[in-house]
Amino acid sequence: MLGAMQTLLATLCGAAVGFSLGLIGGGGSILAVPLLMYVVGVSDPHVAIGTSALSVGANALGNFLGHWRHGHVRWAQAATFALFGVAGAALGSSLGKLIDGRKLLILFALAMFAVAFAMLRPRRDRGAIAPPFTVAIAARLAGLGLATGAASGFFGIGGGFLIVPALMFGGGLSILDAVGSSLLSVGAFGLTTAANYAWSGMIEWRVALEFLAGGVLGGAAGIAVATRLGTGGRGLTRIFAAVLFAVAIYMIARTLDSTS
């Protein structure tokens, strides 16, 4: 019975992650670690990060293909950002494994605060037509990809909330194209981080598959809503920022309580 309950919880949490990835290109990934730890019951922070990275990475690539079918992907910008971001993710995940798990959770929660504040800042949609892909744009995307990938690998997150504004600023994409294009990087960063953690035996494979199964269904629903809304919806973004604040506070409280 306990195993069946964990399977149900992992599937439902995966559906929530997939929905958020499909809708706004992020959010679900940064919530995956606390969901795995405090809802599904994965006790080791490093195992939760490794399992999250695998599930979110595979889920993001599935959602990327869905957005591509809907015409929301700019391949040159997406591929440049992802290529340099993978190098950053490899470095960041190697550093993350060297830090004590409880300290990593505190840093993770602080990163969630920063992401939530960034989400609340108004973002200007740059229009439906992306500017020509130039050397200057490629250079900006390479630098932003490297930095974002390092942060993604260090904290074991997909990085969608960082990647979407980076693609809008560095590549001049509309928010809907940035959401679709960002998922290539989210997937690449996640799988790079997962490979690093898998090498150290820090992935719960059964939970990862259950999480991913739920994410497939949630992702399809998220893409449908994103396509209908066109911009991902500022109201939903504000609500999700509030959720991030709440979860970050909860993670800090739980971590500090366990050390007292």
Q: What per-residue confidence (pLDDT) applies to 201?
A: 92
∠233-73-219 over CA atoms, to 5°? 55
Rounded to whole angstroms, the Cα distance separating 259 from 119 reads 31
What's the domain range around 219? 2-259
Residues 6+ apart with CB under 8 A from 118: 161, 162, 165
Q: Are 19 and 218 in contact (CB under 8 A)?
A: yes
Kindly provide the residue ranges of all beta strands, DSSP E only, lying in 65-223, ordered along the sequence: none
- What pLDDT was estimated at residue 152? 79
Distance between terminal CA atoms of the chain? 33
Q: What pTM value is reported for the model?
A: 0.77
At 227 the pLDDT is: 77
How many domains does the structure of the chain reveal?
1
Instruction: Name residues of the chain where pLDDT drops below 70.
Output: 1-2, 27, 29, 119, 122-129, 158, 230-237, 239-240, 258-260
What's the confidence (pLDDT) of residue 2? 52
Most distant CA atoms of the chain, gap in Å: 57
